[in-house]
Structure 1
Amino acid sequence: MRDEQYIKRCVLAACLMECTARKPGNVHPEHSFEDLKYEHFVASAHAVAPILAKYDSPTLGNRILNAVSTTNVAVGRNTNLGIVLLLGALCHVPYSVRLNNGIVDVLNSTTIADATDVYKAIRLTNPKGLGKSDKQDVANEPTVTLIDSMKLAANRDSIAEEYVTHFKFILEQATWLAERYTGNDDVDNWGMLIQSLQVRILAARPDTLIVRKLGPKAAQQVTDAAKEIEISGGVFTHAGNSRFQLWAEEMRALGRDYNPGTTADFIAAILFAAFRERLLPLPQIDQITTMIE
């Protein structure tokens, strides 16, 4: 039970820190959309944390479907499908096992029943821009295991790619993030650390959600802007931060379709992995909304 409570705190902290950080294009305390507010993400985090952390979830698919169903009851909208897909798999690794070892067994052991539950979860959220697939489309019942269905989508969906590569990118970024943590828990440091992570992820790969909504060209423009910030020295330098602030204004002006939502999902997963593996100190939950600006 003690381990389950720790994982619950890791999930909650990761989700709250992700949605509280002032990340361009994403919802946060100072930026929302007409039907999607910061409060929805906070409520979602509190709703799914105990579900994802549950020690005796029988299957990975069951863990994911229960978390998505709980979110739907709590807020009535899709705030965290990507987060649940990523954290669901990571939380399914036994607490006594390191993530980089345990995630391989979790993913290689998935079944058709897991795929069926995940397809149900995806249909329940009805994500925009999902499109149709010639093979194993989510509108139909799957006939292959979850990992095999992810292999079919990996070339167009970065979350599916993480499943196929055993979360290689996410676990590498958790180490990168920990190496840049200075031990300074003041507002600017944590906020800028997460902003820096957003830039790093976007510079490495176009955001899947933007690709779905606007196409690869628009997503590549966002990636190119992130690369320019990194070339300028990154968020923690004067030149890089100046470019970051300009980019933040540009993203706000571009509107909702330029929301890098998949990147936000990755940030939550990276934070979770860093906390779960004790690479970063786990903050007090009641201090998170005041420690990040």
Structure 2
Amino acid sequence: MKHKCLSELAQIAMMLEVCAETKPGNVDRRHDYDDTWLEHFLASAILVKPAFEKAENFYEYSENFSSDSLFFSDSVSYTRSVDEKSPHIKTDNTINAPSFNIPSLAEDEKKGGLGSLIYEAVSLTNTHSGGNTHFGAFILLIPLIAGGGITGATELVKSTSVFDAVLFYQAFSLTSVRMNDSDDMDVSDPKSVEILREKKMTLYDVMEYSSKCDMVSNEWISGFKLTRKTADFLLNSGRGKNAISDAYMKLLAENEDTFVAKKLGADASLWTMKTAGKVLSGEISVEEFDRICLSKGINPGSTADIIIAGIFIALIEGWKWDI
């Protein structure tokens, strides 16, 4: 199957990951969460296209970028209105986000970059009621698209700016992504943006700062090590889309998911990793592991983000998912 562009392949990667069968703890074709469904993930894969297209034409985008085109708001609202006679429920879900003042950077410092694209991707996909679906995936996919793969992305992330970091924090504030309670760079605190400016922290610096406790951030610092490993697994599997669940389980069995750690603590992430290993060794079924994860609220979201990035790299290197 031939595809025209990298942005399209990135969308397909997002689609394939969520549609995979049995990814313990995460939304897949077998089950939703109460408030986030498979359809929300698919909607995000469609809605993000403009940001991915800009990433694919990164240098042109950066050169022609105007900070005036950015939309900073106090909140992002989603409203679904229906006729009173309709059997459907009327909802008005508002995501409140802190308002950040953009620091007084020189205009030539306000260049379009990875931060503005991540912000746009989050904004575009924040228009349904399913909440954050792909924030971590965007952190990986945007540079991978812009760099045309791992080698280019590894170099590109090192050239990020303070403005990229500011916009990343603005994007972060629109999500419900968890931060460590002890973190002094709290995205919910507008003062954090001023700290970024005072310390002259670029987006790469932010990722390096977070890399010890966040496996997605660590991909930027490690040269997308786990993304590469996942892509190689898929490329060597010879099994098409059916290999995605296996890649997920292998990654989960070899690494503590940092999203689980932030949400439920280190004991939960260690248990998840060890139990995934038991699934691979046949000591417990994947279905039972999935049931336990769902009952305990364990959702290995960072693992899923890296799987998406790995699928994308495999696709651009010729992996056939539909065999």
TM-score range, shorter chain: 0.7 to 0.9
Offset of residue 49 of structure 1: 3.0
Per-residue CA deviation, residues 237-268 of structure 1 (Å, 9 max, x unaligned), is xx47x6323322322333xx201111111111
Q: 1:28 to 1:176 in 2, by over 3 A?
A: closer
Per-residue CA deviation, residues 265-292 of structure 1 (Å, 9 max, x unaligned), is 11111101111232x0265xxxxxxx9x
Offset of residue 70 of structure 1: 0.3
Matched, 1:174 2:231: yes
The equivalent position to 1:258 in structure 2, one of 281, 298, 302, is 298
Offset of residue 6 of structure 1: 1.6
Which residue is 2:13 aligned to?
14
Work out the CA distance in 2 between the residues paired with 1:176 and 1:202: 14
The equivalent position to 2:261 in structure 1, one of 192, 208, 211, is 211
Provide the identity percentage.
30
Q: Assess if the C-alpha contact under 8 Å between 1:199 and 1:226 holds in 2.
A: yes
Q: Assess if the C-alpha contact under 8 Å between 1:61 and 1:116 holds in 2.
A: yes
Which residue is 2:204 aligned to?
147
Q: Assess if the C-alpha contact under 8 Å between 2:48 and 2:121 holds in 1.
A: yes
Which residue is 2:170 aligned to?
120
Which residue is 1:267 aligned to?
307
The equivalent position to 1:64 in structure 2, one of 77, 102, 118, is 118
Offset of residue 125 of structure 1: 0.9
Q: Assess if the C-alpha contact under 8 Å between 2:115 and 2:168 holds in 1.
A: yes
Per-residue CA deviation, residues 217-248 of structure 1 (Å, 9 max, x unaligned), is 01110100111223x2xxxxxx47x6323322
Which residue is 1:286 aligned to?
none
Work out the CA distance in 1 between the residues paired with 2:170 and 2:182: 16
Work out the CA distance in 2 between the residues paired with 1:109 and 1:214: 34
Q: Secondary structure at the match of 1:155?
A: coil
Matched, 1:156 2:198: no
Per-residue CA deviation, residues 115-134 of structure 1 (Å, 9 max, x unaligned), is 11111110111313553423
Which residue is 2:86 aligned to?
none
Work out the CA distance in 1 between the residues paired with 2:186 and 2:179: 13
Cα RMSD, aligned residues only: 2.1
- Aligned pairs for 1:36-115 within 5 A: 36-54=36-54, 55=57, 56-58=60-62, 59-75=113-129, 77-93=131-147, 95=148, 99-115=149-165
What amino acid is aligned across from residue 222 of structure 2 in structure 1?
A: T
Q: Secondary structure at the match of 2:245?
A: helix
Q: 1:211 to 1:21 in 2, by over 3 A?
A: same
After the TM superposition, which parts of structure 1 deviate over 4 Å for at least 4 consecutive aligned residues? none
Q: Assess if the C-alpha contact under 8 Å between 1:111 and 1:146 holds in 2.
A: yes
Q: Assess if the C-alpha contact under 8 Å between 1:52 and 1:64 holds in 2.
A: no
Q: Assess if the C-alpha contact under 8 Å between 1:18 and 1:268 holds in 2.
A: yes
| Higher alpha-carbon deviation: 35-44 or 52-61 | 52-61
Work out the CA distance in 1 between the residues paired with 2:153 and 2:179: 29
Which residue is 1:287 aligned to?
none
Work out the CA distance in 1 between the residues paired with 2:130 and 2:271: 32
- Rg larger in 1 or in 2? 2
Offset of residue 172 of structure 1: 2.4
Work out the CA distance in 1 between the residues paired with 2:179 and 2:156: 29
Instruction: Name whichever structure is richer in helix by fraction.
Output: 1
TM-score for both structures, normalised by structure 1 = 0.82
In structure 2, runs of 5+ residues without a counterpart are 63-112
The count of aligned residue pairs is 259
Matched, 1:281 2:320: yes
What amino acid is aligned across from residue 115 of structure 1 in structure 2?
A: A
What amino acid is aligned across from residue 17 of structure 1 in structure 2?
A: L
What amino acid is aligned across from residue 287 of structure 2 in structure 1?
A: Q
Q: Assess if the C-alpha contact under 8 Å between 1:107 and 1:166 holds in 2.
A: no
